[in-house]
Each structure stands twice: as structure tokens, then as C-alpha cells.
Amino acid sequence: MMTTDTRGREFDERPWGSFTVLDDEMFDHKVKRIVVLPGKRLSYQTHAKRAEHWFIVDGDATVVLDGAVHQLKPGDSIDIALGQAHRCENQGTTPVVFIEVQHGSYFGEDDIVRLEDDFGRAP
């Protein structure tokens, strides 16, 4: 269930951590702050209507992009093209925090095709 944080921003807790929407006022992009808890990972997924840019703020992230593994640390970033399979994993002991900039034509949570998921949300 979607809620808001103390500043009135859209906030949602997920089995892997949480996200806060920082900006969604324009038609062509959306910005989120995503926190991935230690030992957790996002679903391996694609999007049909948006590409993403991830900037790592804290923690050591393991990013899988079309099967290739990338180790990212604070200050690193990675681009995810439209339709590219991707996930962020936290194999460390502290939370991974990253800023996600989505750009495209649609940013709804229903533009997620889960290929694999640790929480039973994939087909």
C-alpha cells in the first residue's frame, strides 16, 4: 500500500527495502530514492516504456544488467536502456541507497515485467 513520508512524498515499503518519490511533476521523467536492505535484491525485470539511470549514494551494489554483473560503489552510476533486464542486489551488511532517474513515456509501477523474483511476484 502506497503511503507518504513525513515530508508528504510518495513512499512505499517493499520486501527488499523501500522507495521514496523525489520528483514526478514533469511528464518525461520521475526521480526515486531507493533503499535495498542487506541480503535483499530487486526483482530481475524489464520496462517497456522507460529507461533508467542509477546513481549509487551509499553501500556497495551488485547490479545485473542483461546477465552481466557490475560492482558499483558510492559515486558510481549505470544506465539501463529501454527493455534491458536489470536488478540491484545488496550482498553487503549495510543498506544500498541509490537515486533512480526514470525517463520515457510512462512511469507507473505496472510497467514492470518481472523475469525472476525472490518474493513470488514473477510469473
With cell 544500498, the residue in question is: 96
Q: Do residues 88 and 54 lie in contact, with contact meaning Cβ atoms separated by under 8 Å?
A: yes
pLDDT of residue 77: 98
CATH topology of domain 3-110: Jelly Rolls (2.60.120)
> Any residues with CB less than 8 A from the CB of 66 and at least 6 apart, and which?
84, 85, 86
Q: pLDDT tens, 17-52?
A: 999 999 998 899 999 999 999 999 999 999 999 999
**H-only helix segments in the chain:** none
Q: Do residues 52 and 101 lie in contact, with contact meaning Cβ atoms separated by under 8 Å?
A: yes
